[in-house]
Amino acid sequence: MSQHAPLTILFSAGESSGDQHAANMFLELKKHQPDIKGIGMGGTKMAHAGIDIRYDSAHISVIGVVEVIKHYGEIRRALKLMQRIISTERPDLLVCVDYKEFNFKLARYARQQGIKVLFYVSPQVWAWRPGRVKAYGKAIDMMAVIFPFETAYYDAENVPVRYVGHPSVDKVHPRRSKAEDMAQFGLDEKKPVAGLLPGSRANEIKKMLPVMLSAAEKLQAGLPDIQFILPQADSIGDELLEAYMRQSPVKITVIKNQPYDVIQCCDVVMTTSGTATLEIALLTVPMVIAYKLAPVTYWLGRWLVNTPFIGLPNIVLGKRIVKELIQHEATAENLAAEVKRILTDKNYADEMRANLIEVKEQLGQGGGSKNMAQLALEMLK
């Protein structure tokens, strides 16, 4: 390693969760190698960690076939820019964080250019298209997986793989006690609290927030004491949220940049699927998962996906411990009914909490960001 030219890592993260993972990893890297340089595609968390953001991933943070088609031109521009950085700046390592299809193309290009590739967060080969393992094996130098059961898929095809731990285990820690948070957020400890987590993408907010607000209205009619709170994702602008909140007669406390403190105050959470479900599980708060996709994406998914669940807590334990309301089932009536059951049926809620504790135990002690930093340094040597 040259003492004169600092090592450069190119990061590619296309979504809010990937932005966080890359930021945490880079902060750990800086502890070992203070002069290391980070550049790439990401968001505000990566920028705050000291990574030079060349492309803001907020422009392409979409999910679903229809949504991707709509943003295809912008996604292609981002890919071309990242490829140009690889060919002209020759980073010492490319770290692809999630955002599977985009990063697979970028990884393949980097390998062709002789750049080492570390892929962080495996595609869900256990859910669909297990044949992708071979394809990824040709495009990467190392796959870092975040669930223990994933290593077997790569070992079977002799693809270098390492279980690094789930990054959420390290970061899901409230800043204050629950009592302090209740006081801070103006919540009454004697009354039930329901959380609304409508997602971290604009298209998720548009699909799911109106349904959740309608469910909140129904709940308030039957449970007048209920309190509502919403942790605003930093990827969601005030204007978008306010456009929907203004139309709701229900009082909902919106809190920025403190998701885990908000969640720990909740007796129940309505959430979209994704990493948030695992974070709620790590805080052992009962939940109901609701999700809607564009009809084409949904039907394609039903045809292609080979898993009975979409919620990560259910996937980790291999059984349905949390109710999933998908597509036509994701109605205000169904959401309100499940939230009410969790709040009024103690045995039901206690059983769910016990299962969520089991999910937490399965995920182990964490250390994901440290393990990723160590793996990257090994590859740089």
Residue 87 has pLDDT above 90, yes or no: yes
The rounded distance, in Å, linking the Cα atoms of 129 and 314 is 20
Q: Are 20 and 35 in contact (CB under 8 A)?
A: no
Structural domain boundaries of the chain? Answer: 8-165+366-380, 178-362
Residue 1 has pLDDT above 50, yes or no: no
The rounded distance, in Å, linking the Cα atoms of 342 and 336 is 10
pLDDT per residue as tens digits for the range 286-318? 999 998 766 555 555 554 555 678 889 998 888
Model confidence, pTM? 0.74
How confident is the prediction for the chain on average, in pLDDT?
Answer: 91
Residue 218: pLDDT band (50, 70, 90) is very high
The rounded distance, in Å, linking the Cα atoms of 150 and 166 is 12
pLDDT per residue as tens digits for the range 165-192? 988 898 899 999 999 999 999 999 999 9
Alpha-helix residue ranges (DSSP H) falling in 145-252: 151-155, 167-171, 178-184, 202-222, 238-245
Residue 140 has pLDDT above 90, yes or no: yes
pLDDT per residue as tens digits for the range 121-130? 998 776 666 7
**Domain 8-165+366-380 falls in which CATH fold?**
Rossmann fold (3.40.50)
Residue 63 has pLDDT above 70, yes or no: no
Whether 8-165+366-380 shares its CATH topology with 178-362 is answered yes
Residue 67 confidence (pLDDT): 64
Nearest to 20 by CA among 194, 170, 221: 170
Q: Give me 362's structure tokens.
A: 């399965």
238, burial (CB in 10 Å: exposed 0-12, middle 13-18, buried 19+): exposed
Q: Which CATH number fits domain 178-362: 3.40.50.720, 3.30.1330.10, 3.90.226.10, 3.40.50.2000?
A: 3.40.50.2000
What's the whole-number mean pLDDT along residues 265-271? 98
